[in-house]
A and B are shown apart, each in its own frame.
Chain A
């Protein structure tokens, strides 16, 4: 592990962090290890309280760790064994906070100039002016320098926070739920912009969010965290299509989660599963054997609704229970042999509650994720 640690921008090894509590200590992070490659956009994803923010704060040096080691650019910055702790101001990082943390007593220019001033660059020097202007231009805030930071809108403050984090050209950019305080439209816009800036600079980035859309659309790799541990680390596509367990599947989207038993294997990568509502033919990895209890996720957007039965695989008679209009799509609750399933259809499809329909569940809509003990079979 040591050799690897010395070349990658960030390596975290067996990180533990707990907070004192009335009843003793609450473990916030319980043994997290990962490393980030040069130029990667790496995301820690999970619900609130899963330890993702604590992990990031440990990397930033805003929290002391209880156990484990943290390396930044091959330099050991935190180690309980060596009783070593490099304070945040000595780590080569830039960070954007959830609240943006724009200093209200400074102008936009002064906010961005602050890290340079601390680094010893003379206020008013050409170098400082050039670098601040460059950073402001990067986030499209040219000409705002003399304004007071409090006069900016939410989106502008967010961009200012990014400029301030980048102005020192740090080795690592930390983003702590930076989009969560923006309204939905601005959030979509900033998501694209943030990723574009990150790509242009090629800066290694660690991103923390609880929003699966943000994680899936921005990241090169995602680590899903639950109860202080990483439960799955994968690319967005892998994660979405092949969640390692029920938690990841549910967290990543409104999947249907079905229990079943493997009836027979069918060639190298197919099998027949007996689910509560009938027999389902799905893709199955090697190593799954007949009789195994499994869980299957069925992506609602992949399920199709037909008016009549045609020669289709995995087709079931169903009744529409409810329809909720979500804009482009509508979500339908259907009942298949007394099992409720959710599916998404284009809103142009005219279905109303009470309709008798045929449900098609294509093989690629299903992911076999776990046996009955919850141990991933394809992880």
Chain B
């Protein structure tokens, strides 16, 4: 397939067709509302949580960090499943309980509309906002606030007139980044919106690339990708300029400050309740309800009647050949992608920071670009390229290698940022001391650079391995039945209506994440610092 399609359909007509489709425009406005709500929820929850963790005497702050990092790597589709089981108008536990208790005629909290999806996505991305904002709060020079206090300013005025304006560039950068992710994300819109025909940009494109009947409409997918590129360029330009401004403020000096912590005193209990409520809503509830539903014959609320139907049958009925195939692909990816990201990140960072090669900053910009581009674009771009450009020369379409490439490119930006920040701390004289001691290039890398970077390398490896195990958005547009990963297996079952079997697979994926997560928290302290 493929070539015959594109032959007749190249040109601006594709854009005209796409722009003339009312479903497209509904998806666009949905995406706007969805991303807007996501952004508000993620900031309203994430920024105060970051402030509580970094600038107050809240008890159990490191536990809060642990919860945040856990929710950062937990699959988004699992949260989506959990919340559908919790707040679906018909089968959602919360709605059913409330409707029965108060004899309501309609569900009080229906989640299967664009607002509900936005709120859930916002809760999911709160952890991302948290890890983006917390380091700026931590490394803020306390003397700036102390100077305001010495000038006689009370606490609320310090927060409003000094802290907030100083943090504004960092906050804006975080907000733009979260918005970029929200625009392109697949997990929540797919898991919650798809069956209810509520489409955002990503799911609309998915219906074009993988229609339930008929042939894939690649021309529309390409046109949609083109529009998204324009949007992405605009957003990434804004992101880069805001980041540059953030640097000019010099709030983050890289010096280890010990910021003054605010005593919460009588606000301690409300703050703890806030944190506990967040952890319950973002982590515990969605996971528990998904786990319960994985034990049910079909999706329905947990009541005294249905509790007797709980069994392990789903785990027996899962299509095991499909599952094993997905597990094998995921394993291959976890074995290859993290190592590839680590190696290429070190190479990129080395060239940018430690050589004087012309154009090295361009290289840095290229490595940074994926950071500001919705992941879905990589999926679409890679799949179209593989299908129409490379197919004859290098037949990668439908192979796991294409997926590996997409993952590597998408996470290289994260990897280079992380290795950059560690490499920059390695004084160049440490390397030069190796050279004058007689060590050549290879020996310097092997004996000095790699050992000094070891914490960062290890942290990056685990983090990318976690991301690779749970990634759905990037995989959605690159997958065919032959290179399906585990999250795609869960999604395929879910979209076929086998909700409880999909829940069972999601639970297995989380179980597979546990050993990685254990490693991840064994390195807890280092993980926190790596986001700086």
Q: A114–B439 Cα gap in the complex (Å)? A: 9
Least CB distance from A73 to B in Å reads 15
- Asked if A95 lies at the interface with its beta carbon under 8 angstroms from chain B, I say yes
Q: Please state if A118 and B433 are interface contacts (CB–CB under 8 Å).
A: no
Closest partner residue, chain B, to A115 (CB atom): B437
CB-defined contacts of B454 to chain A, threshold 8 Å: 105
Least CB distance from A222 to B in Å reads 23
Q: A140–B190 Cα gap in the complex (Å)? A: 69
Closest partner residue, chain B, to A104 (CB atom): B452
Q: A91–B161 Cα gap in the complex (Å)? A: 58
Q: Please state if B447 and A89 are interface contacts (CB–CB under 8 Å).
A: no
Least CB distance from A180 to B in Å reads 13
Q: Please state if A62 and B432 are interface contacts (CB–CB under 8 Å).
A: yes
Q: Please state if B447 and A99 are interface contacts (CB–CB under 8 Å).
A: no
Q: Please state if B433 and A103 are interface contacts (CB–CB under 8 Å).
A: yes
CB-defined contacts of A88 to chain B, threshold 8 Å: 432, 435-436
Q: List which A99-134 residues lie within 8 A (CB) of chain B.
A: 99, 101, 103-105, 114-115, 118-119
- Asked if B237 lies at the interface with its beta carbon under 8 angstroms from chain A, I say no
What does the 1/0 interface line of B429-456 toward A look like (CB < 8 Å)?
A: 1101111111110010001100110100
- Asked if A278 lies at the interface with its beta carbon under 8 angstroms from chain B, I say no
Closest partner residue, chain A, to B439 (CB atom): A118
CB-defined contacts of B447 to chain A, threshold 8 Å: 114
- Please list 7 pairs of residues, one from A and one from B, whose beta carbons are closer than 8 Å in the complex, sorted by A's number: A62-B432, A91-B436, A95-B432, A95-B433, A95-B436, A105-B454, A168-B437
CB-defined contacts of B435 to chain A, threshold 8 Å: 61-62, 87-89
**Chain A interface (Cβ < 8 Å from any Cβ of B):** 60-62, 87-91, 93-95, 97-99, 101, 103-105, 114-115, 118-119, 161, 164-165, 168, 174
- Asked if B427 lies at the interface with its beta carbon under 8 angstroms from chain A, I say yes
Q: Please state if A118 and B432 are interface contacts (CB–CB under 8 Å).
A: no
Q: Please state if B438 and A101 are interface contacts (CB–CB under 8 Å).
A: no
Q: Please state if B451 and A101 are interface contacts (CB–CB under 8 Å).
A: no
CB-defined contacts of B430 to chain A, threshold 8 Å: 101, 103
CB-defined contacts of B437 to chain A, threshold 8 Å: 89, 94, 114-115, 118, 164, 168
The listed residue with most B CB atoms (<10 A of its CB), out of A99, A103, A168, is A103
**Chain B interface (Cβ < 8 Å from any Cβ of A):** 427, 429-430, 432-440, 443, 447-448, 451-452, 454
Given A101-B427, A101-B429, verify A60-B436 contact (CB < 8 Å): yes
Q: A99–B428 Cα gap in the complex (Å)? A: 10
The listed residue with most B CB atoms (<10 A of its CB), out of A87, A97, A168, is A97
The listed residue with most B CB atoms (<10 A of its CB), out of A62, A87, A94, is A62
Q: A174–B437 Cα gap in the complex (Å)? A: 12
CB-defined contacts of A95 to chain B, threshold 8 Å: 432-433, 436
Q: A95–B439 Cα gap in the complex (Å)? A: 13
> Which residue of the partner chain, among B440, B448, B452, contacts A89 with CB atoms under 8 Å?
B440
Q: Please state if B433 and A97 are interface contacts (CB–CB under 8 Å).
A: yes
> Which residue of the partner chain, among A90, A97, A168, contacts B432 with CB atoms under 8 Å?
A97
Q: A91–B439 Cα gap in the complex (Å)? A: 11
Q: A93–B439 Cα gap in the complex (Å)? A: 12
Given A101-B429, A105-B452, verify A118-B443 contact (CB < 8 Å): yes
Q: A87–B436 Cα gap in the complex (Å)? A: 9
Q: A13–B429 Cα gap in the complex (Å)? A: 26
Q: Please state if B438 and A115 are interface contacts (CB–CB under 8 Å).
A: yes
Q: Please state if B429 and A98 are interface contacts (CB–CB under 8 Å).
A: yes
Closest partner residue, chain A, to B435 (CB atom): A88
Closest partner residue, chain A, to B453 (CB atom): A105
CB-defined contacts of A119 to chain B, threshold 8 Å: 438
CB-defined contacts of B434 to chain A, threshold 8 Å: 103, 114
CB-defined contacts of A161 to chain B, threshold 8 Å: 433
Least CB distance from B447 to A in Å reads 7
Q: Please state if A89 and B432 are interface contacts (CB–CB under 8 Å).
A: no
Q: A94–B432 Cα gap in the complex (Å)? A: 11
Least CB distance from A228 to B in Å reads 20
Least CB distance from B442 to A in Å reads 11
> Which residue of the partner chain, among B427, B440, B451, contacts A99 with CB atoms under 8 Å?
B427
Q: Please state if A94 and B436 are interface contacts (CB–CB under 8 Å).
A: yes
Q: A18–B286 Cα gap in the complex (Å)? A: 63
> Which residue of the partner chain, among B440, B451, B452, contacts A87 with CB atoms under 8 Å?
B440
The listed residue with most A CB atoms (<10 A of its CB), out of B430, B443, B451, B454, is B430
Closest partner residue, chain B, to A91 (CB atom): B436
Q: A97–B454 Cα gap in the complex (Å)? A: 24
CB-defined contacts of A99 to chain B, threshold 8 Å: 427, 429
Q: A98–B437 Cα gap in the complex (Å)? A: 16
Q: A105–B452 Cα gap in the complex (Å)? A: 7
Q: Which 10 A-B pairs have the closest CB atoms?
A: A101-B433, A101-B429, A115-B437, A88-B435, A97-B429, A95-B436, A118-B438, A105-B451, A89-B438, A118-B439
Q: A89–B435 Cα gap in the complex (Å)? A: 5
Q: A320–B320 Cα gap in the complex (Å)? A: 100
Least CB distance from B449 to A in Å reads 10
